[in-house]
């Protein structure tokens, strides 16, 4: 039987490779650049970073060469590279991006501080052939809004003048960080708990009981008791792994960066104690790419531990994110650590059972493990003894928006928004009066000024359609455009959806389009919200409608005053 093939396919032999042809020069360049590195699949993202850092882009010919070098399908390499926002893929023959990129943060805190206007001003003032100006999601510096990144240098409270000064000086490297070295930390009693555990003077049960008494819970957002998570992972067969989630991408959240810059060794001790508790074979730190200065700090700090004999060389693995909010979800983070697009896994099984490399994995947040050595030094009663309004413990509130002193404020759990603003944040900015606040970042919902006396803690806000999450508090004033706030938040979710599940992928885009109209079908918004909450795979799609639902409940009159026509149950 003769097959009549299209002319473009006639004559192709079965053994010929399909897709892009391999360029010998590009393969040589990749081989030389990655010489001595491991071609293991889980290192794909690290190798993509290496190519991007060296060439300033990811040319498709280099992606093809990388696929050959790693013995991976080109489709798999391209899928991963195209998933992450910080990789610039340039097709063969296309113009490369300009040498300098200016990223202007477009998160809510920066929008309130005039980031959109600043971006337009910078775009008009710069040569598009030499410099490109693009929007970027939260950079973890919300207390310094608006924030701009020039190359790898971040500018807080940025202005056209400050950006032009950096461009003129050519200072594109990360800003230096003054951090506490190992000797200084040990002089203050650091690593006493780790030493005691390794010497057998303190057992895992002792530390678990201490954390139980202190009431330490996961401080990345879920709030699960730390000692219980240890127990779940310990109950699974070895080998086990520890993963630290340092990818704080929730708009408004800045606390993990604050603590890592303050005392990286206290964090590392807490991490190693946790690794001892679950007998982890290795510990992985997944640090967001927006913290380039901290990457160098942690590399040096880990090297200090290895030189001092406190960590076996190679037992602490530092990995670099690539710009994906979804990787804050623990299973998506693990997918990224394995060199794949960061798409959440279906559960069960949970990561405590089958996590990194299909092995039981303990996933903890930076701040959670940071407190473990401190609680040991000061005692469980010290930590648990703080609290207000019937709550217990300490919380690190990342506060931004319309307050005089934004930043990370360590305050008693259960403090109210009114108390937090007045006692820790220096009150509202001049001329601003509280309208609303987000108690847990973009996903935590929105509450009116009339409910600024609610205790801020785990389990206290759910009845009001909100949650504290990572305690990222964004304060909104009467002078702010509420619809612009909601559009900003939903645009963030739509952009950051991984696209894996339809309710989130389509739902966020549909809801954004509905919010941009002057007529809001309230019933349709509520119905779409319910579908997203019920059927989305992970917390991104499930929580994305929270601010919209809160605004419909608490601020219908204000929305109408802004020119929005609320259509209720078919009544115009």
311 and 257, same structural domain?
Answer: yes
Boundary-marking domain end, from 477, 498, 514 = 477
Boundary-marking domain end, from 377, 402, 419 = 377
| Res 21: pLDDT | 87
Per-residue DSSP letter, 571: B
Average pLDDT over residues 303-323: 98
Within a domain: residue 385? no
440 and 332, same structural domain?
Answer: no
Q: Encode pLDDT of 83-97 as tens digits.
A: 999 999 999 888 888
Is the pLDDT assigned to residue 3 strictly greater than 80? no
pLDDT band at 5, cuts 50/70/90? very low
Q: Encode pLDDT of 78-135 as tens digits.
A: 999 999 999 999 998 888 889 899 999 999 999 999 999 999 999 999 888 899 999 9
Average pLDDT over residues 202-227: 95
254 and 225, same structural domain?
Answer: yes
Within a domain: residue 321? yes
221 and 152, same structural domain?
Answer: no
Look up the CATH number of the domain holding residue 408: 3.10.20.600
Average pLDDT over residues 291-302: 97
Helix (H, G, I), strand (E, B) or coil at 366: helix
pLDDT band at 11, cuts 50/70/90? very low
Look up the CATH number of the domain holding residue 503: 1.20.1440.230
Distance CA 171, CA 152 (A): 9
Helix 366-378 × helix 264-278 angle, to 10°: 90
Residues 6+ apart with CB under 8 A from 496: 137, 249, 324, 325, 326, 540
The string of DSSP letters for 379-407 reads: -HHHHHT--STT--SEEEEEEEESBSS-E
pLDDT band at 222, cuts 50/70/90? confident
519 and 409, same structural domain?
Answer: no
Pairing of strands 447-448, 434-442: antiparallel
Whose structure tokens read 């992985």? 284
Average pLDDT over residues 443-468: 97
CA separation, residue 242 to residues 278, 338, 358, 450 (Å): 8, 14, 13, 43
Look up the CATH number of the domain holding residue 238: 3.40.50.11540
Helix (H, G, I), strand (E, B) or coil at 285: strand
Helix (H) or strand (E) holding 286: strand 280-287
Record the tokens describing residue 327, joined without a space. 């990787």
486 and 473, same structural domain?
Answer: no
The string of DSSP letters for 17-41 reads: PPSSPPPHHHHHHHHHHTTT----G
CA neighbor of 321 nearest in space, from 292, 345, 297, 348 = 292
Record the tokens describing residue 461, joined without a space. 């806000």
The proportion of the chain whose per-residue pLDDT surpasses 70, expressed as a percent, equals 96
Average model confidence (pLDDT) for the chain? 94
Within a domain: residue 43? yes
Average pLDDT over residues 157-165: 97
Is the pLDDT assigned to residue 9 strictly greater than 70? no
pLDDT band at 343, cuts 50/70/90? very high
464 and 340, same structural domain?
Answer: no
Within a domain: residue 52? yes
Is the pLDDT assigned to residue 15 strictly greater than 70? no
Is the pLDDT assigned to residue 479 strictly greater than 80? yes
pLDDT band at 569, cuts 50/70/90? low
62 and 38, same structural domain?
Answer: yes
431 and 290, same structural domain?
Answer: no
| Res 548: pLDDT | 98
The proportion of the chain whose per-residue pLDDT surpasses 90, expressed as a percent, equals 93
φ/ψ of residue 90, rounded to 5:
-120, 120
Is the pLDDT assigned to residue 283 strictly greater than 90? yes
Is the pLDDT assigned to residue 6 strictly greater than 50? no
Within a domain: residue 439? yes
Within a domain: residue 209? yes
201 and 73, same structural domain?
Answer: no
Within a domain: residue 5? no
Quote the number of domains for the chain.
Answer: 5
Boundary-marking domain end, from 53, 86, 119 = 86
Is the pLDDT assigned to residue 232 strictly greater than 70? yes
186 and 163, same structural domain?
Answer: no
Within a domain: residue 15? no
| Res 153: pLDDT | 97
123 and 104, same structural domain?
Answer: yes
φ/ψ of residue 93, rounded to 5:
95, -15
Inter-residue long-range contacts of 114-121, CB under 8 Å, 24+ positions, other chains counted: 114/146, 115/145, 115/146, 115/147, 118/146, 118/148, 118/158, 118/159, 118/160, 121/160
The residue among 5 and 493 whose pLDDT is bigger is 493
Q: Which domain holds residue 463?
A: 394-477
């Amino acid at each position: 039987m003769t097959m009549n093939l299209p002319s473009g396919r006639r004559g192709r032999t079965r053994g010929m490779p399909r897709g892009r042809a391999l360029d010998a020069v590009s393969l040589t360049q990749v081989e030389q650049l990655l010489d001595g590195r491991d071609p293991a699949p889980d290192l794909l993202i690290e190798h993509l970073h290496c190519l991007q850092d060296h060439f300033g882009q990811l040319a498709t010919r280099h992606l093809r060469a990388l696929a050959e070098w790693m013995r991976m399908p080109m489709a798999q390499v391209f899928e991963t590279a195209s998933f992450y926002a910080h990789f610039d893929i340039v097709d063969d023959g296309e113009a490369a991006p300009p040498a300098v990129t200016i990223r202007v943060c477009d998160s809510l805190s920066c929008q309130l501080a005039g980031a959109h206007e600043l971006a337009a001003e910078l775009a008009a003032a710069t040569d598009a052939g030499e410099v490109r100006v693009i929007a970027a999601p939260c950079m973890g510096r919300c207390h310094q809004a608006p924030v701009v990144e020039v190359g790898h240098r971040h500018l807080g409270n940025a202005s056209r003048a400050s950006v032009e000064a950096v461009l003129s000086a050519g200072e594109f490297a990360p800003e230096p960080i003054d951090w506490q070295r190992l000797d200084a930390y040990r002089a203050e009693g650091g690593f006493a708990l780790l030493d005691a555990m390794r010497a057998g003077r303190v057992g895992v049960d002792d530390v678990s009981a201490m954390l139980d008494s202190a009431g330490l819970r996961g401080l990345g957002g879920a709030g699960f008791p730390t000692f219980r998570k240890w127990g779940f992972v310990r109950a699974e067969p070895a080998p086990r792994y520890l993963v630290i989630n340092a990818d704080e991408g929730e708009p408004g959240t800045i606390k993990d960066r604050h603590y890592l810059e303050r005392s990286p060794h206290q964090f590392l001790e807490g991490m190693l104690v946790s690794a001892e508790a679950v007998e982890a074979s290795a510990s992985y730190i997944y640090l967001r790419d927006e913290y380039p200065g901290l990457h160098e700090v942690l590399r040096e700090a880990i090297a200090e531990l290895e030189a001092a004999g406190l960590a076996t060389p190679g037992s602490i693995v530092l990995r670099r994110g690539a710009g994906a909010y979804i990787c804050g979800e623990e299973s998506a983070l693990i997918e990224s650590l394995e060199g794949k697009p960061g798409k959440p896994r279906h559960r069960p099984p949970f990561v405590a059972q089958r996590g990194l490399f299909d092995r039981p994995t303990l996933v903890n947040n930076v701040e959670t493990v940071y407190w473990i050595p401190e609680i040991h030094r000061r005692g469980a009663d010290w930590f648990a003894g703080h609290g207000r309004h019937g709550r217990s413990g300490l919380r690190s509130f990342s506060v931004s928006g319309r307050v005089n002193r934004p930043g990370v404020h360590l305050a008693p759990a259960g403090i109210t928004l009114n108390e937090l603003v007045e006692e820790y944040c220096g009150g509202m900015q001049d001329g601003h009066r509280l309208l609303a606040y987000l108690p847990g970042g973009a996903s935590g919902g929105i509450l009116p000024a009339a409910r600024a006396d609610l205790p801020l803690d785990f389990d206290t806000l759910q009845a009001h359609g909100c949650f504290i999450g990572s305690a990222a508090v964004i304060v909104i004033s009467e002078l702010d455009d509420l619809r612009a706030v909601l559009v900003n938040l939903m645009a963030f979710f739509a952009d950051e959806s991984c696209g894996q599940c339809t309710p989130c992928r389509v739902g966020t885009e549909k809801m954004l389009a509905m919010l941009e109209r002057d007529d809001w079908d309230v019933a349709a918004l509520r119905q779409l919200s319910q579908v997203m909450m019920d059927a989305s795979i992970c917390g991104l799609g499930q929580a994305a409608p929270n601010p919209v639902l809160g605004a419909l409940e608490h601020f219908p009159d204000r929305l109408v005053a802004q020119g929005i026509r609320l259509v209720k149950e078919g009544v115009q």
